[in-house]
Amino acid sequence: MLLLVLIILLVILCLIEREFDRKVEQDIPEENCRKCGKNVATDLLICPHCSSLLREHCSCCGHSKLIAYRHCPWCGANGGEARDHYATS
Ligand SMILES: [Zn+2]
Ligand SMILES: [Zn+2]
């Protein structure tokens, strides 16, 4: 009887652990490296697989932005120059 309870507890623990692992995996957002196509965490500056640059710092506001983005998602700067419709409005 005690053995049965222990086995049930172990199974429940395993299930909780698996669920936790899945949640942890989901919590880390990933994107594909543009060069090698492998999954890399979104907050990385350089791909750990092929060492290509994934992000650069916006020359306008200093936030890191994806190389793939033309405009900085933080300040709207385009290639280092702030868009003037923000300044005129
Ligand atoms: Zn890569
Ligand atoms: Zn910016």
According to the model, what pLDDT value does residue 41 have?
86
Length, in residues, of the chain: 89
- What is the number of the ligand closest to the CA of 69? 2
pTM score: 0.46
Q: In this predicted model, what pLDDT tens digit does every residue of 44-88 receive, in sequence order?
A: 888 999 999 988 888 899 988 888 788 899 999 986 444 455 544
Ligand nearest to the CA of 60: 2
Ligand with minimal distance to 47 CA: 1
pLDDT, position 24: 66
Residue 30 DSSP SS3: strand
pLDDT for 13 beyond 60: yes
Strand partners, 31: 40
For ligand 1, the distance from its centroid to the CA atom of residue 24, given in whole angstroms, is 23
Alpha carbon of 62 to those of 4, 11, 32, 35, 59: distances in Å? Answer: 59, 49, 23, 24, 6
Give residue-wise pLDDT tens across range 30-41: 888 888 999 988
CA separation for the pair 72, 37 (Å, rounded): 23
